[in-house]
Structure 1
Amino acid sequence: MNRQLSATALPALALALVGSVLWVQVANGGGAFEPLQPADPCVERTVTSRDEGIEGLTERLVLLGIDGAACILGVSRESLTLELAQPGPRTDEQIDALRRGLLSAVGRMKRDGTLPPASDLADEALANADLNGLLKKLILALPDSVIDAAVKTDDVLVRTINDLDLREVLADIDDQDDLNRQVNAAVTQAVKESLLQTLRDLV
């Protein structure tokens, strides 16, 4: 008898518990379900990087650049990232928006003081450079003040972005991991080359 009572009572007890939970949710405003809205890419957000040096700089540049591109196109950053990570050709509108977004990111980092001086990046740019030893020593011997007076990080980034073939960079991307990896790698390499050329011109 007790076993039969338990068999009929347990479902009723479970139903009562579910009902009470639902009632609490409704009483606390949980009756109206609204899906989470993606963040507005036009609203500036704080972006940090896990890396340092040139790679950290370019990672932040790309993240802010995608925000800017999404704002220009009137889509969420998540939507744009998914679109760019799909195989196939990119539209002129996407390429133009991404370039404008990257250039806008440079301006923002300059305004908020998060662009490192060129002297902070010089050693890294020279580390694996294909230069003869004497030229490398001459550049390394330059005082930081001389490098920073002659080489502006924002100028290097703007020149890099304008010269970068974004269509080629995005050509073989077929997922979001590829998007982040290839764009960051391409921008990092381009920044190193541009910075290196400018440093060579100093000597």
Structure 2
Amino acid sequence: MRTRAVALPALAAALVGGVLTVQIAYGGGSFEPLRPGDPCAAREVASRSVGIEALTERLVLIAVDRAACRLGVSREAFLLRVAGPGARTDAEVDALRAGLHDAVAQMLADGTLPPASDLVDEALDSADLNGFLEAVIRALPDSAIDAALETDDVLDRAIDDLDLRALLSDLDDQAGLEARVEAAVGEAVTDSLVARVRGLV
């Protein structure tokens, strides 16, 4: 019994030593903590959603990177700053708005902005229009909608109309920040689309 009591700690020490030897042999001795990603570097941003929700989700993810890049901080540091207690600075609000505009430009350049006609039906579904006007708008051919409305212009106007300072107030977590901005951008895009499509009839 006594021999077993002495042997078990010795066996454990030998096993731990063996594991450490293997780890060091494969580079485990040079530990470096993970560094935050460079917000200024382009990265693949995808969404599992569809329609306006997918558009605004991707827009916000890119925008946060671009805002952090403008401020010279990591994405994580930017989120902590704007999702924490206290007032948001002019620089933070301006960086986020500029980041949203940068995201629109990036998506336009890489061909991931959908045509306005792809978003109109979804926007009308949540709009409070009389049945006749809604039917007339839905009857417009996609070519007419796309000729009259450019998605980047609709998005840029919606972003300009956002009250980002109010939007960023009373946040207490990063997920809440992204969800709130996505919802507000989505609503603004919907309102802008409906208003501008109404102008076509």
Q: What is the rounded CA distance, in whole Å, between the counterparts of 2:126 and 2:177 in structure 1?
A: 25
Question: What is the DSSP-based 3-state SS (H/G/I as helix, E as strand, rest coil) of the residue aligned with 2:132?
Answer: helix
Q: What is the rounded CA distance, in whole Å, between the counterparts of 2:59 and 2:187 in structure 1?
A: 14
2:55 matched to which residue of 1? Answer: 57
Q: CA deviation at 1:172?
A: 2.1
- The AA in structure 1 aligned to 2:11 is L
Q: CA deviation at 1:177?
A: 2.5
Q: Is 2:131 the counterpart of 1:133?
A: yes
2:24 matched to which residue of 1? Answer: 26
Q: What is the rounded CA distance, in whole Å, between the counterparts of 2:45 and 2:26 in structure 1?
A: 34
1:155 alignment partner, one of 153, 158, 167: 153
- The AA in structure 2 aligned to 1:37 is R
Q: CA deviation at 1:21?
A: 1.2
Q: Is 2:3 the counterpart of 1:5?
A: yes
Q: What is the rounded CA distance, in whole Å, between the counterparts of 1:140 and 1:37 in structure 2?
A: 49
CA RMSD of aligned residues (A): 1.0
| Unaligned residue ranges in structure 2 (runs of 5+) | none
Q: What is the rounded CA distance, in whole Å, between the counterparts of 1:134 and 1:22 in structure 2?
A: 74
Q: Percent identity?
A: 63
Question: What is the DSSP-based 3-state SS (H/G/I as helix, E as strand, rest coil) of the residue aligned with 2:157?
Answer: helix
Q: What is the rounded CA distance, in whole Å, between the counterparts of 2:51 and 2:73 in structure 1?
A: 31
1:181 matched to which residue of 2? Answer: 179
Q: What is the rounded CA distance, in whole Å, between the counterparts of 2:76 and 2:65 in structure 1?
A: 9
Question: What TM-score results when the alignment is normalised by the length of structure 1?
Answer: 0.96
Question: What is the DSSP-based 3-state SS (H/G/I as helix, E as strand, rest coil) of the residue aligned with 1:171?
Answer: coil
- The AA in structure 2 aligned to 1:46 is E
2:64 matched to which residue of 1? Answer: 66
Q: What is the rounded CA distance, in whole Å, between the counterparts of 1:156 and 1:148 in structure 2?
A: 11
Q: CA deviation at 1:182?
A: 1.1
Q: What is the rounded CA distance, in whole Å, between the counterparts of 2:194 and 2:77 in structure 1?
A: 36
- The AA in structure 2 aligned to 1:156 is V
Q: CA deviation at 1:116?
A: 0.5
Q: What is the rounded CA distance, in whole Å, between the counterparts of 1:15 and 1:155 in structure 2?
A: 67
Q: CA deviation at 1:128?
A: 2.4
- The AA in structure 2 aligned to 1:89 is A
Q: CA deviation at 1:152?
A: 0.4
1:75 matched to which residue of 2? Answer: 73
Runs (4 or more) in structure 1 with deviation over 6 Å come to none
Q: CA deviation at 1:165?
A: 0.9
Deviations 1:42-87 (A, max 9, x none): 1111111121111110010000000100111111111111221112
- The AA in structure 1 aligned to 2:32 is E
- The AA in structure 2 aligned to 1:197 is A
- The AA in structure 2 aligned to 1:168 is A
